[in-house]
Chain A
Amino acid sequence: MEHSFYYWKTSFATDTTVQTFIAENQIDHFYLRYMDVDWSYQQCMPMPRAEITGIDKAAPFLQKKFTPVVFITNKTFEKIDNYWEDSLPYKVRNRIVFINNKIKQTQKQAGIIATSDDSQEIQIDCDWTETTRDRYFKFLQKLKQLLPDKIISVTIRLYPYKYRSKMGVPPVDKGMLMCYNMSNIRHNATTNSVFDIKDLEQYLTPTAPYPLPMDVALPVFGWYAWFNAGNFKGIVYPNEHQQLLADTNYFVKTGNILSIKNDVEINHQYLRQGNVLRLEFPTEKALIKAGKLLHDKLPNIKRIAFYHYDNQLTNQYKNAIEKIYKMY
């Protein structure tokens, strides 16, 4: 069983704790987000965006096996025409090779002996819908033709996992079940849109195995859902604002709800008195329960991954990560 982590930031930065973290948790593998692909309304074409930078600082994440991941927005498949249907797989392939080459150079400079010439697997991440399914699947088929020696994997959300006949099964070698972002963040009635064990249980009801070899990913991240008068206004990322969020001059905590006591601005978002923030971090207990549940429901997985690596978050979820890795 491989222990894995997603690295989803747009750049690598010097991180003095990552080596210890990898060793302590016996991490064998990373999923590295290479780039996003999104539809550009200005240029009427799919565009590579937020390509990973700072590769010279990536060495710790390249020591073990890694898989490049390309996130493609569903909008891209809504918009592309026949020309792009044909050429997007080539463009994506070339770009991956280009970034691979940069990485190779870095590995060489850092004296890292690569586990193989290139990564053996390529993962595509897309939240496809029924409408975009055919175009997305065609893209995957073509990508596989272009990279016949690679394992092509895709991320699979819980909804397409459960409703597989409606959503289709991607024509690839394997899937990664993403066990997070489960319910509608906009609804008042939602308890935690990022992760709710009850929701997970409901999605794992199919008894027949998914027709692809599967791995699973669990979340070690969260945010605050911001509501004004019951209307969803946006997401507040707590990253650098933990101290402010704990300030009782501005916030009153009741359960998973932070009520705003006095107007306050966080990262350009102006939270007004009476607004509320719904805390949406998975609890350690729920994650461990999910680990057990997945162990029972998907006994054949080969890799357990966490989304995503951030030294602050991984520290926060240290126990849960350790316990879940030990289960597998």
Chain B
Amino acid sequence: MKKYIRCISTLALSLLLPWNIILCCGPTLSNDEERFLLFNSAIDGNYGIKEFTYSNELFDVSEAEKQPDFKRNCKEWKKYTSDKASEKDIFEIQYKTPPTLFLNAYKLNNWQNFKGNTFIQWLVLKENHAALDYLALAKQAEAVDILNADPWDTTVERKKQDVLALANLHNKRIATAPVYLQQRYAFQAIKLWFYVGTDDTPTMQKLQQVFVNYLEGRKTIVAAWANIYFAMVQKDPTKKTLYLLKAFDESDEKKQFAFLRIDNKDLSTLAAVTKNTYANSLVQTMFAMKTNGRALENIKKVAKFNPDSKFLPALVGREINKLESWLSTPKMLGFYDYYLEERGPYETKTQRQLLEKKDAEYLSQFVEFLTNLNKAHPRPPLQLALVHIYNMQQNYAAASRLLSMLPVYSNKQYQTQKLIEQVIVTAHIEDIDKQAVKEKLATNMNQLLQLNPPFKKRLNKKIYDRWQDEDAERSDDVSELLLILSRAYKIRGDLVTSGLLYTKANIITNAYDGWSENNEVGYSHIAWYDRFAKPATIDGLLVLKHKIKKTAFEKLLSPSQWAKDDMYNDLKGTILFRDQQYDQALEVFKSMDRNFWRDNYEYSHYLPITPITYTGLVPNTTNKKMGYPIASKLLITQDVVTIIKNITNSTDTEIRAAAYFNLGNAQFNTSYHGKAWIMFSYGKSSNEPISYNEFPNFLWGFYNFSPNDLKYRDNYYLCKSASDNYAKGFALSANKELKAKCLLGLLTCRRFSNFIRKEKSSSMKRNSTPLYLEQLKNYQNTYSFKQAAVHCPDIKEYLGKLK
């Protein structure tokens, strides 16, 4: 069913959101999703560094990157077979074949299951039996899985004896094996001894000896892996740290293990004692990777010790991501950007500004460092990093100059980054209203989408599922660029383009955008326009929607799914209604399908069927049964327009006074407190209008009226216009009953608006009691007052308090 209005109270929040992961406090964002990062800190390759990019998840344990090491091992085997076996077949045997399958074949010398496998064909040759025997033993070692044994098994200790025997067998074979296999036997023995446990001192001594004799310093993946086991049995923390660093440097699979076990204190000790530049470079790399704070000083040292360090691009990228988190994220996404002076001990705007200034200074220092580094040791990722931080500094001219010197890269990551920078530069220094520039932007963006299918997927609300996206931060780069462009067009006043770009971006900013409905009805289609559009914006939007021959840029703007026309028209009429342009609102609603609200509104009952002039709180002669046959903004607006005609056209004072009273009623009913609030707003929440005080970072999570809550505060929350009209009715009428009703209307407005003032926002002072409310005492004997007191006994009580 196509319904789209969200009426969300705090209590009902979790019940109404179409969300598959719901916590008690509503939906959640991952730490990476709430950051605006456009520099790919893993730009320089696949050496298992990705998980060490700057992220709040850094210290969480996730799956280590194993594939590069596996491939390296296969390459070594391929070389050993003199290229007789293919890398693919070696991989199949090494990493995809269960030990039992291999060992059965070995035992029976029956390799039928491996027909066509070039590695097996090579292994079974008589002259290669040594290698086959090794693999059989290695598969036995693979079957030993003490570390991943059933965690509830309490018999592991006994099994260790078998493992020890197997380790010793590997060790025994070292002596007679060829060098290549010697290293592998040594590695297996070391690994198994380590599994048995470090309490056994003689075994640990053997482990160290075998490592030194056969593996230390060797250029083989098994030596890289063995660093870990050697490190973990060291009693001296400095030596242990050195070998953990080596493992981090030489192996991808062991990086995470090493990273999590290296301690900053031990790193400092190692830094103090070592003269070795290789070790020093690694120490500083690790210091930089282990901090979520500023690491420029460490990075400078890495560059000093080893300007060609393979880790430098990643370290520079991490630092840029930090600066993006601190500087770009609040500006672009609105997270951490609500600093209110009234929040007691918590941060103030002034403090935040000071912090931004300091971060900007740090950015400058970083630019200086990177400029110098690029002069002496230019490398594509470092040059692209410099372009990016020029852009962050808004030094677009420098970014543009450097960009023009860079080639078209065949490396996908470099070229992607280059295109990203190009779009940022274009958005800021070229005339983006010009057709040619628009087409250039479209070309660049399309190239980005072609290079990176995840970017494309992200833009399609029909197929993108953020909960399935493990790389949500990286896959949103084009979305973030669209956001940058949206801002640029908004500044230029092109609200149609700006809104479409924002909507297309499909990115969560700290604003309520509804959720990504996959059909032509849904608040997310109009959320941005609800906040910023003018009625003419909607006209422009519809023109573009129906344009047949769209330019490449217009195609880029177009959503994967347009909303139906009446959704946009409904918004246009609603904006006009808010602005009290009732005639024009009526014309818009007349142009729409009469059943639109009934058929599409989730909560259409908030478009009442009782008359809009009947509040239920103030007695009215209006027959409450004479309402509307169907939920309809059109019928309600029609009534409001009729009332206004009575005010404008009638010469009878009492008729005009009654019309003012009814207009007051209609405006009260369409305020936050009234039965027809949905005429004014697309949702309602008990958090309004204080959501940004209480939940500054959670505006995206539940319905709020921001920024319209400020724009329409007086009329929507504080019933100003309704009060004014009640006051006018009171002043005009000579009829005691009508006067009493107008005063009761004023009283109602005052009660509700004071509730908002008192309960919701300390910044809104309570109204002092207006003199005319005092006058209500003079009407205590009217029928209207008595009626009101019957329906609402606290009126009398409230009046008593005024005395």
A interface residues with partner B (beta carbon < 8 Å): 43, 47-48, 91, 94-95, 98, 186, 188, 227-231, 254-255, 257, 259, 263-265, 268-270, 272-276
Contact = CB atoms under 8 A, between A and B. Distances in A.
B553 to A, nearest CB: 37
Interface string B312-352: 00000000000000100000000011110001111110011
B532 interface: no
B354 A274 contact: yes
B292 A229 contact: no
A273 B292 contact: no
A230 B346 contact: yes
A229 B696 contact: yes
B294 interface: yes
Interface of B: 25, 58-59, 151-152, 154, 290-294, 326, 336-339, 343-348, 351-352, 354-355, 358, 694, 696-697
Contacts of A229: 336-339, 346-347, 352, 696-697
A48 B292 CA distance: 31
B336 A94 contact: no
Nearest to B264: A268
Contacts of B351: 273-274
A43 B149 CA distance: 11
B228 to A, nearest CB: 21
B355 A272 contact: yes
Nearest to A265: B293
A85 B364 CA distance: 59
A269 B290 CA distance: 10
A230 B696 contact: yes
B292 A228 contact: no
Contacts of A91: 152
A314 B336 CA distance: 38
B contact face: mostly helix, strand, loop, or mixed = loop
Is chain A's interface secondary structure helix, strand, loop, or mixed overall? mixed
Contacts of B154: 94-95, 98
Nearest to A275: B347
Contact of A270 (B293, B338, B348, B694): B293
Contact of A268 (B290, B344, B355, B694): B290
Contact of A47 (B151, B338, B347): B151
Nearest to A90: B152
A66 B694 CA distance: 45
A231 B354 CA distance: 19
A48 B326 CA distance: 39
Given A265-B291, A265-B293, A268-B59, A274 B345 contact: no
B11 to A, nearest CB: 16
Given A228-B336, A273-B354, A265 B347 contact: no
Contacts of B346: 188, 227, 229-230, 276
Contacts of A48: 151-152
Contact of B345 (A47, A98, A254): A254
B247 to A, nearest CB: 21
Contacts of B694: 188
A274 B347 contact: yes
A46 to B, nearest CB: 9
B697 A231 contact: yes
Contacts of A47: 151
Contacts of B151: 43, 47-48
A278 to B, nearest CB: 8
Contact of A273 (B25, B343, B358): B358
A268 to B, nearest CB: 6
A275 B292 CA distance: 15
Residue in B151, B290, B337 whose Cβ sees the most chain A Cβ within 10 Å: B151
A273 B59 CA distance: 23
Given A273-B354, A274-B352, A276-B347, A268 B291 contact: yes
A186 B696 CA distance: 13
A255 B345 CA distance: 10
Given A230-B346, A273-B351, A274-B355, A268 B292 contact: yes
A189 to B, nearest CB: 9
A98 B154 CA distance: 7
A242 B571 CA distance: 57
Return the 9 tightest CB-CB contacts between A and B, nearest first.
A274-B351, A270-B292, A98-B154, A274-B347, A257-B345, A270-B293, A265-B293, A229-B336, A91-B152
A259 B345 CA distance: 8
29 contacts: A43-B151, A48-B151, A94-B152, A98-B154, A188-B344, A188-B694, A229-B336, A229-B346, A229-B696, A230-B338, A230-B346, A230-B696, A231-B336, A254-B345, A259-B345, A263-B294, A263-B358, A264-B293, A265-B291, A265-B292, A268-B58, A268-B59, A268-B290, A268-B292, A270-B293, A272-B326, A273-B355, A273-B358, A274-B355
Q: Which of A255, A272, A276 counts the most chain B CB atoms within 10 A?
A: A272
A230 B338 CA distance: 9
A152 B356 CA distance: 56
Nearest to B692: A230
Nearest to A188: B346
B293 A231 contact: no
A249 B293 CA distance: 17
A54 B337 CA distance: 48
A274 B339 CA distance: 11
Contacts of B354: 273-274
Contact of B696 (A98, A231, A270, A273): A231
A146 B291 CA distance: 49
B472 to A, nearest CB: 18
A263 B293 contact: yes
Contacts of A255: 345
A314 to B, nearest CB: 26
Contacts of B293: 263-265, 270
Nearest to A261: B351
Given A230-B697, A275-B347, 5 more contacts: A188-B343, A227-B347, A263-B358, A272-B326, A272-B355
Nearest to A256: B345
A229 B694 CA distance: 11
A94 B291 CA distance: 42
Indicate the member of A255, A273, A274, A276 with the most B CB atoms within 10 Å.
A274
Nearest to B294: A263
A95 B59 CA distance: 29
Contacts of B290: 268
A55 B327 CA distance: 50
Given A91-B152, A229-B339, A269 B292 contact: yes
A302 to B, nearest CB: 33
A292 B152 CA distance: 43
Contacts of A227: 346-347
Contacts of B338: 229-230
Nearest to A259: B345
A263 B361 CA distance: 14
A285 to B, nearest CB: 22
A257 B346 CA distance: 9
B291 A270 contact: yes
Contacts of B344: 188
Nearest to B696: A230
B299 to A, nearest CB: 16
Contacts of B697: 229-231
A240 B336 CA distance: 29
B674 to A, nearest CB: 30
A183 to B, nearest CB: 14
A48 B151 CA distance: 7
Contacts of B294: 263
B634 to A, nearest CB: 43
A283 B25 CA distance: 30
Nearest to B336: A229
Nearest to A99: B154
B343 A230 contact: yes
A264 B294 CA distance: 9
Contacts of B58: 268
A143 B339 CA distance: 52
Nearest to A269: B292
B348 A274 contact: yes
Contacts of B347: 227-230, 274-276
